[in-house]
Amino acid sequence: MSEWILISALIVAALIVIGLILTLVVIKKKKEGKMGEPNYQVFFIIGMAWIPIGSVFIITINLVMGIAFMGLGIVYMAIGLANRDKWEKKK
C-alpha cells in the first residue's frame, strides 16, 4: 500500500513541476509580447472529437471517464462557437 502512496506523490509532484514550468513560459511570452490569439476553430474541432471518444469510454471503460470527456468536448465546442467570428479564414 505504501508504494501506491509514493507513486501518487511522485505523480502529483511531477504535475506541479510541469505546471510551474508552463506558467513561467506563459509569463515570459506575455512579457515579450509573443502571445498570439488562440485558434478557436481548433477548440471546436477538438470538442467534436472528444464527444464521440466520451461515448466510447462510457460503453467500454468507465461511465465517469466517458462523461468527463463528453463534458470537456461540449465545453471546447462552446468556446469555439462563442468565438466563431475569430476563426481563421482558409487561404
d(Cα 77, Cα 34) in Å, to the nearest integer? 26
Contact between residue 90 and residue 70 where contact means Cβ atoms under 8 Å apart? no
pLDDT given at position 55: 92
Please state, in angstroms and as integers, the Cα–Cα distance from residue 75 to each residue in 20, 25, 39, 56, following that order. Answer: 25, 25, 15, 18
User: Could you say which residues of the chain have pLDDT below 50?
Assistant: 91
For the chain, strand residue ranges (E) read: none
pLDDT given at position 31: 86
pLDDT given at position 29: 84
Contact between residue 47 and residue 75 where contact means Cβ atoms under 8 Å apart? yes
d(Cα 58, Cα 69) in Å, to the nearest integer? 9
